[in-house]
Amino acid sequence: MSAAGHRCGCREFTRAELARRSFAEAGRGLPAIEPGMPAPAGTGMTRRSLLLRGGALALSVYGASMLKPQAFVEGIARAAGTQGKVLVSVFLEGGIDALSVLAPVNDDTYRRLRPQLRLAPGAGPAWTEDTRLQWHPSATPLHQLHGEGKVTVFPGIGYTNADQSHFTSRHYWEVGELSTRADTGWLGRLLDVVGDDENPLQGLSLDGSLAPSLATARVPVAATWGASYDLWAPGVWGEVEDLMFESFARMGVAAERSRDDGLSGAGRVVRQAGALRTQLKAFSGEIASPVAYPDSEHFSESLAGLAAMLGAGLPIRVASVGAPGSYDTHDEQAGSFGADLAQTCKGLLAFQRDLEARGLDDRVLTLVWSEFGRRPEENGDGSSAGTDHGAGGNAFLIGTAAKGRMVGEWPGLKSLDEDDNLRSTSDFRSVYCSLLEQWFGVDAAAVVPGASGFNRPVLVG
Amino acid sequence: MSVPVHRGRFGAAQAERLLWRAGFGPAPGQAARLSRKGLRHAVRSLTRPRGKAKLRGPAPHDDDGLPLAPGDAWGHDLLWWLDRMVRSDQPLVERMTLVWHDWFATADVGQTTLNLKQNELFRKRGLGSFEELLLAVTVDPAMLVWLSGNENERGAPNENYGRELMELFTLGADNGYSEDDVREQARALTGWTNDWDESRGMVNFRFERDRHDYGRKSIFGKAGNFDWRDSCRLCIDHPAHARFFVTRLWSYFVPTPPPKRTLRALEKQYRRDRNIRRIVEAILMHPALYEGPRMVKPPIVQIAGMLRARRRGIDTDSWTWIADEAGQRLFQPPNVAGWDEQRWLDTARIGGRWTAAAQNTRAAEIDPDGYDPNETAAAAVRKALRFWGDPNLSSQTRGELQRFAARVENVATDDWQQASYRGLRQNALRILIAVSPEFQTS
């Protein structure tokens, strides 16, 4: 949360964060895959190449603490090669301003509510499904994919009586129900139904720690950061460096055997770190992507690495990555919004093109979401104008298999909710139910509480 | 019934552990000096410092050589405090400040000077009465902003602070209070507000009678026209508070839970006067601290300790991002529950600790050309240990260092390699010591 956010009244802290914190701890500290293990059977590749082609990521494994590392390798091997459907979750942190992504540029109310922040007619391409709305210029990559029938737009997504706390609303989206007590994510529960007991890669968080939406009750999932794992050793190189890392790992192995819990825990982490670094050093460097990504930021690297891992046949079923920037634009929205949105959309376009080049695009859908939209009436004046927390917002489902037809209509500015926010015309839980059933072939009732009460928009096909 | 006291050896090794648990590790030679005082005097030298803290060593500056601007420049808040951790001659005062920063975890409220003032409050009251500390924290401006105390007014109570007051600060989750108590606490806490000044930001934090709900409240089954002071005292007097307090305080110093008899004795002691210092002293003299398992050093303690061992002051902004990478960005706890000490070490976090070690070795990096071609493995290890102030390491860790040093000689087959490999070896040994599992713990 940005400092600006604190000033503007979103500093409240709720049970949601505590709940998140507690379940993010589940099963922490399992051993990572070690060197010297046999190549996973059935993958047609050595374990090293598996890691190489998988983007060479450091793994933290969560859940299923009784399993030995060998079991994970076998689990990954067994699950590899299955051409399952994949869902990527991309989170726009902070609550993105829907009225700036798809702007009703000729709407009188919009022009009145947004004297500073309104977009000029013609500044971006019109949205073909509802020509009252116009894409932000930075969202042009989405417009492009939409024109190819590869983007399903949710122009007013949310839930009734929207909570305007970042934490609470985000938590609802993550757990797939309006409960602050829920302690597994909706994608985690999907994995608990369809996942493998021994394949942590099936649920991959790419931002360094477990994404709450992937928190499981039963099966293991993994967290990685970026696409490299390197330890910087100034003044040490060549054979001496190799020996140093060997000793580093050996100190870990020895300490792990200690009867002293504190020392043994530290030893385990040192052993894991040493093992990872040893595995990865032979192929450190850039991932060879068939397309150009916009820059070398974490978001691009994560998506490029994810595409490479899928290309290598790694058995990933759901993955999570945070979009660059912050959309909590309480003030000076004009300054940051366009740049953040451009980074995000360019990265998403490159990812889709990457998947197409690798022939994976039929297998992957990407859900882009945010915890809420923002208040239609802007605040402040002059260049400091921003928007406060709202309700109804935007989401996008991207992929060759996406239906490409909007779900729910644009709610309009004529009838706002009691807090003067946009109403929602589709419910995020409906989207989850449709994805579960139409994409994963799983009965949504097993994953989303009260699933029978939600409609099922057609999202795939 | 009294709290057990460590009767075993109190040598340099034990004093070193004490300095890591109650401070930021020893400066070279400090552990041996402290051990000569004996346990009781050693502990009291930490818990009962005299006068104002003195900062010894080089004054801090940023990458440009300029003085720190903790209230203004990004990351300088951390650098400013890290400097105190490194240089203060009252390490326990700083360590207790860190304890309270975690206990009453307040992230940057967008006006860093308010967080710095809160930090000063922790420093000033961190070893006194917990009741007084709690009262002061409750109306501390940063806390009022952080947990919405300044938006809690009659007719529109905000439960944010009232809930955390019980759940995180005094009683523990679901430990002897109801949702009704949360709502009534919120009413009792109404009345605080502040002004907004265009140039100075949030100013003039104060209690306003008009904003306070003077009606009757019922909290923990007691009824009265409670205000914010009553709110705090009701929590302090709650039967579940003493156990919560001593257990949580204990957990900052000892990784194993307090034995039952110890717990009862500490509770009894605490109930007498709510004095923090005496409980800390009892914990620091307890056998469990010296005889129990090792404890992972918090990342910022590890970083400060390396600088102390090197007698190095703050001379770069890098410590801010390194601390973040290692998992403990001061003034940015992950949430109001503070840092999760179970997450101090994983493969991502150890990367930050490694970077911190490398940042220190690079500052004194040895040029392998022209290094002593005859240095023995044992001499190399001794020299590298001296680099870090001769930390107390087990024979197992020393053995691995020695083995590494010898293996380097085995691969140095050509004449030209004799000097350069030994130079590289010294750089490597220094890193290895600081990233060893043993050095991550105390």
With helix as H, strand as E and coil as C, how does A230-278 read?
Answer: CCCCCCCCHHHHHHHHHHHHHHHHHHHCCCCHHHHHHHHHHHHHHHHHH
Residue A23 confidence (pLDDT): 27
- Sequence-distant contacts of A350-353: CB under 8 A, at least 24 apart: A350/A289, A350/A291, A350/A292, A350/A293, A350/A294, A350/A300, A350/A303, A350/A304, A351/A88, A351/A293, A351/A303, A351/A304, A351/A306, A351/A307, A352/A145, A352/A150, A352/A398, A352/A399, A352/A400, A353/A291
End-to-end CA distance of chain B: 30
Residue A203 confidence (pLDDT): 86
The token pair that represents B185 in the structure block: 């606490």
Residue A53, pLDDT above cutoff 80: no
Dump pLDDT digits (tens) for B194-234.
Answer: 999 988 999 999 999 999 999 999 999 999 999 999 999 99
Residue A296 confidence (pLDDT): 67
Q: Answer yes or no: do A12 and B148 touch at CB < 8 A.
A: yes
- Disruptive mutation site among B296, B347, B387 for chain A (greatest number of A CBs within 10 Å): B347
Which residues of chain B neighbour A28 with C-beta distances below 8 Å? Answer: 342-343, 346
Q: How far apart, in whole angstroms, are the C-alpha atoms of residue A159 and residue A235?
A: 57
- Average of pLDDT values for A397-422? 96
Backbone angles phi, psi at B331, to 5 degrees: 70, 5
The partner residues of A427 in beta bridges, in order of sequence, read A158
Structure confidence at residue A43 as a pLDDT band (50, 70, 90): very low
How many alpha carbons lie under 13 Å from residue A172 in its C-beta half-sphere? Answer: 21
Q: Answer yes or no: do A25 and B425 touch at CB < 8 A.
A: no
Minimal CA–CA distance to A204: which of A188, A192, A218, A189? A188
Q: Answer yes or no: do B358 and A276 touch at CB < 8 A.
A: no
Structure confidence at residue A75 as a pLDDT band (50, 70, 90): low
The token pair that represents B407 in the structure block: 């293996």
How many alpha carbons lie under 13 Å from residue B330 in its C-beta half-sphere? Answer: 33
Report the relative pairing of strands A203-205 and A221-223 from DSSP bridges: parallel
- Disruptive mutation site among A247, A258, A272, A279 for chain B (greatest number of B CBs within 10 Å): A247
Dump pLDDT digits (tens) for B319-340.
Answer: 998 998 888 999 988 778 888 7
Dump pLDDT digits (tens) for A248-258.
Answer: 999 999 999 99
Torsion angle, CA of A318/A2/B73/B61, rounded to 10 degrees? -30
- Average of pLDDT values for B359-365? 97
Q: How far apart, in whole angstroms, are the C-alpha atoms of residue B318 and residue B17?
A: 27
Residue A350, pLDDT above cutoff 80: yes
Structure confidence at residue A190 as a pLDDT band (50, 70, 90): very high
Mean pLDDT of chain B: 95
Q: Answer yes or no: do A58 and B347 touch at CB < 8 A.
A: yes
- Average of pLDDT values for B93-122? 96
Structure confidence at residue B68 as a pLDDT band (50, 70, 90): very high
Residue length of chain B: 442
Residue B289, pLDDT above cutoff 90: yes
CA distance A328 to chain B (A): 14
| Spatial strand order in the sheet of A426-427 | A60-62, A221-223, A203-205, A318-322, A86-92, A364-370, A393-398, A151-158, A426-427
- Average of pLDDT values for A266-270? 88
Go through A21-47 and write b for each residue having 16 or more CB atoms within 10 A of its CB, e for each that does not: eebbebbbbbbbbbeeeeebeebebeb
Mean pLDDT of chain A: 80
Q: What percent of chain A has pLDDT over 70?
A: 77
Which residues of chain A neighbour B404 with C-beta distances below 8 Å? Answer: 243-244, 246-247
Residue A22 confidence (pLDDT): 27
- Tokens 């994608």 locate to A187
Structure confidence at residue A81 as a pLDDT band (50, 70, 90): low
Largest CA distance in chain A: 72
Which residues of chain B neighbour A11 with C-beta distances below 8 Å? Answer: 109, 145-148
- Disruptive mutation site among A33, A251, A330 for chain B (greatest number of B CBs within 10 Å): A251
Option in A11, A235, A246 nearest B361 (CB): A235
Residue A41, pLDDT above cutoff 50: no
- Work out the burial of residue B155: count CB atoms within 10 Å of its CB; fewer than 13 is exposed, 13-18 middle, 19 or more buried: exposed
End-to-end CA distance of chain A: 37
- Average of pLDDT values for A31-53? 27
- Average of pLDDT values for A364-380? 95
Q: Answer yes or no: do A6 and B147 touch at CB < 8 A.
A: no
Structure confidence at residue A206 as a pLDDT band (50, 70, 90): confident
Q: Output B64 or A57, whichever has higher pLDDT.
A: B64
Give the least confident one: A67-71, A261-265, A316-320: A67-71
Q: Answer yes or no: do B293 and A260 touch at CB < 8 A.
A: yes
Please give the interface size between A and B, counted as residue pairs whose CB atoms are below 8 Å apart: 178
Which residues of chain A neighbour B109 with C-beta distances below 8 Å? Answer: 6-7, 11
Coil, helix or strand at residue B437: coil
Residue B297 confidence (pLDDT): 98
The token pair that represents A75 in the structure block: 């689990």
The rounded Cα B1 to chain-centroid distance in angstroms is 30
Residue A372, pLDDT above cutoff 60: yes
Residue A228 confidence (pLDDT): 59
Concatenating the DSSP letter of every residue in B126-141 gives: TTSBHHHHHHHHHT-H
Q: Answer yes or no: do A251 and B335 touch at CB < 8 A.
A: no
Minimal Cα distance from B295: which residue of A?
A: A262
Q: DSSP character for A435?
A: I
- Average of pLDDT values for A38-62? 32
Largest CA distance in chain B: 89
Q: How far apart, in whole angstroms, are the C-alpha atoms of residue A333 and residue B308?
A: 44
Q: Answer yes or no: do B431 and A236 touch at CB < 8 A.
A: yes
Residue A308 confidence (pLDDT): 84
Q: Are A227 and A56 in contact (CB under 8 A)?
A: yes
The token pair that represents B74 in the structure block: 């990004």
